[in-house]
C-alpha cells in the first residue's frame, strides 16, 4: 500500500575467488521494473610454505640433517592444517603439532629431517592437508646417504729435534686432523723411543676437520744421535653410540 515498505535480504555466497557483479530486478504489478546493482569480491584462504623444496645433500649414514620449514597464512581467513603426509626413505618431521590453526598473517615453523640408514639416494614429498581454498604444493625432498669415512692425518710425518744439550728438553708439536666425514674417537697415542715423551693428554673425539696438537718432548741423558720420534697414527674407531 502507499507508504508501506518491504525489506529484502540479498546473500553473496561465492564458491571461487574473484570479483562478481550482477543485479536484482523488482517487477511491479503495473509492469514497472526497478533494478539494484550488486557486486562483491570473493577472498580465498591460502597457505604458503618456505622453502618450496629441500635438498639435504650428502648425509653420513645413521646421522641426521635437519632443515627448518616455515608455513604462513598470508590472508585474513583462518586456516587449519590437519595432517602432514611424508614419503621417501629416511625423511621425517618434528615440531609440527597437529591440528594447527593459523590466523591471518600468522606463521609457524617445524623441522624436516633426513636420517639415511644406507648409502643411497632418496627422494620424497611432504604434503600438508589444509582447509585452505588454495592448498600449498607438496614439498619435494631429496638427499643422499654416504658411508662413514674414518680417517686421520698427521703433520709433520717426522720430527727432527736437531742438537739438544744433555739433560735439556726440546719440544715439537705434531698436529692430528680428522680428514674424514665422521667423528673419530682417539683413545690413546703410543710413542716409542727412549728419552722421547708425550706428556699429558686424554681420550678425545674429533669431529670432521677438527685438529689437536700433540707436544712431543726430547730429553737426552747421554750424548748420541737418536732416531726421529714417529708417533704411531692412532687407530680411528667409531665413537660409542
Q: Is the dihedral of CA 78, 16, 37, 24 positive or negative?
A: negative
Run of H or E including 183: none
Assessment of whether the complete model's pTM goes beyond 0.85: no
Across-strand partners of 112? 67, 93
* Terminal alpha carbon distance of the chain: 91
Residue 54 DSSP SS3 = strand
pLDDT tens profile 12-27: 887 676 788 999 988 8
Chain centroid, CA 83 distance in Å: 21
The torsion region of residue 95 among left (phi > 0), alpha (psi -120 to 50) and beta comes to: left
Q: Is the pLDDT of residue 102 over 90?
A: yes
Amino acid at each position: 500500500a502507499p507508504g508501506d515498505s518491504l525489506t529484502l535480504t540479498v546473500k553473496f555466497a561465492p564458491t571461487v575467488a574473484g570479483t562478481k557483479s550482477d543485479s536484482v530486478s523488482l517487477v511491479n504489478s503495473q509492469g514497472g521494473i526497478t533494478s539494484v546493482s550488486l557486486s562483491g569480491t570473493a577472498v580465498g584462504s591460502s597457505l604458503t610454505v618456505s622453502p618450496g623444496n629441500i635438498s639435504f645433500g650428502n648425509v653420513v649414514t645413521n646421522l641426521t640433517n635437519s632443515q627448518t620449514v616455515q608455513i604462513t597464512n598470508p590472508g585474513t581467513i583462518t586456516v587449519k592444517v590437519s595432517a602432514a603426509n611424508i614419503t621417501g626413505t629416511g625423511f621425517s618431521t618434528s615440531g609440527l603439532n597437529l591440528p594447527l590453526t593459523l590466523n591471518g598473517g600468522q606463521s609457524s615453523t617445524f623441522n624436516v629431517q633426513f636420517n639415511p640408514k644406507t648409502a643411497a639416494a632418496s627422494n620424497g614429498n611432504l604434503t600438508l592437508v589444509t582447509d585452505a581454498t588454495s592448498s600449498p604444493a607438496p614439498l619435494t625432498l631429496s638427499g643422499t646417504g654416504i658411508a662413514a669415512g674414518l680417517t686421520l692425518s698427521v703433520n709433520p710425518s717426522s720430527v727432527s729435534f736437531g742438537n739438544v744439550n744433555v739433560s735439556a728438553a726440546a719440544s715439537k708439536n705434531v698436529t692430528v686432523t680428522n680428514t674424514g666425514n665422521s667423528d673419530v674417537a682417539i683413545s690413546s697415542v703410543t710413542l716409542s723411543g727412549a728419552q722421547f715423551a708425550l706428556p699429558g693428554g686424554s681420550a678425545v673425539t674429533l669431529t670432521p676437520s677438527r685438529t689437536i696438537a700433540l707436544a712431543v718432548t726430547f730429553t737426552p741423558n747421554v750424548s748420541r744421535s737418536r732416531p726421529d720420534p714417529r708417533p704411531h697414527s692412532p687407530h680411528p674407531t667409531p665413537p660409542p653410540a
